[in-house]
Structure 1
Amino acid sequence: MEPTRISIRFCALDSDLTIASSDGVLFKVHHKNLEVHSDVFASAEGATRPENGDEIVYLSETSDVLDLLFQYMYRQPQPELKDVEFSTFAGLAEAAEKYVVYSALGWCRMKMEESATTHPLQVLDYAVKHGHVDLANESAQQSMLSSVCGVAEAMDILEPSTFKKWILFQERWNKEKLEFFSIMVRYPEDIPLLQKCFAVPNPFRTFRKELEEAGYRNRTSRMITMKFIAEDTNCDSKDVDI
């Protein structure tokens, strides 16, 4: 899209770098600021110089995302993210990783961790793409507990390679869960606890202590610590298949 307006926040008359968002907004920024905070933006040093005819650097991010991203590159309070829509924030997190904006990376990762329970598939896609192993494992588990994380949603959100691993993880999770509950139902004294487990999204964490005291320590631990790419196979007492 051809630029149609200039950013209200980033419109400095002495700017030496002009960047256009995917939705047609121009950002008049200072190369020095971007260079200090991002190795990637340093490569745009020759753009928008007078001898280059006021060349514009076109980026794939939206204006909402760039407006947040550039705020991390100036001496000012960092932007407040609590009221930012997740889709915009997810775009910011991707941009921070893509352009290696050091001042934003930590905040974005922390916010993504907080979003693992509400947007597990999106967080999983981000975590796998950028090598955040612990976050990938946590968000994969959270996706097993969400009623809106079906196969269709996963196929739409995840990269093909991640989707394939997610399907295998889902099969493993459901198999372990079914085996767990199938063993519990064989013990009359455990039926009340089993009924409680059916009533909550994540019984393995909610009733962890009770499950461990009932003799399911290893199986409970296996469900809680199941990795997106690994599986624990330890067994004990009632954990042994009958």
Structure 2
Amino acid sequence: MPSPKRAPRRFFVLVTLRLLSPFLPRHGPVLMLSKTFCIKLGTLKQPAEAATMQFVAKHTSISIPRVYCAFERKGCKYMLMERMQGHILRNGWLERSAESKEKILAQIKTMTDQMRRILCGSLFDSYEGGNEKAPEANRLVEWHNRYCGKPVFTHGDLNTMNIMVQGDDVYWEYTSAWHVNPYDEFWREDVDKFLEPHLEELDMERVRRRFFGDF
């Protein structure tokens, strides 16, 4: 298998998928090329996800898989990235000792705290310049500002299937983490151990989901 460092990366991805896709192990949308490389593909958000991963890697010390390239071609999106060793946290969580769980949850808390400390930029760019042409939008923002704190950077889907561990080391928010995957009901018991509880917001999230669905 040629190294992506020696060939144009997009070409490498497309040729590899054409020739080897039927023979590669796959976990959901991710094809495992080797012990060090994998390709994530689909139709949703790979380029945006890649940019977010690179942003987090630049501004924190969180272990983020290295992204080699991300692009779209004919309606399909591709991301060539580093394959992290380990397994998803969900596997064996209930069998872990209290000491092991405490160590892992402490690391997750440190990671979420780092993301929340990233300085937040403006919600508007210099081209748009704000909501002067839509005063009703300003009213909506002001209403939310009475109840919401300052926006922070966080992980919107922090469930045990999105956290990689090797031993007791974590590799890779409150309402999104608490509203867990249907197979992750046990995770609710531990969310408060690494995220500050926001019970009123959680209640509002329940209401939102009742009327508007999960997303």
Task: Calculate the TM-score normalised by the size of structure 1.
Answer: 0.23
Larger gyration radius, structure 1 or structure 2: 1
Given the two structures, how large is their TM-score scaled by the length of structure 2? 0.25
As a proportion of its length, which structure holds more strand? 2
The one of the two structures with greater contact order (alpha-carbon pairs below 8 A, sep at least 6) is 2
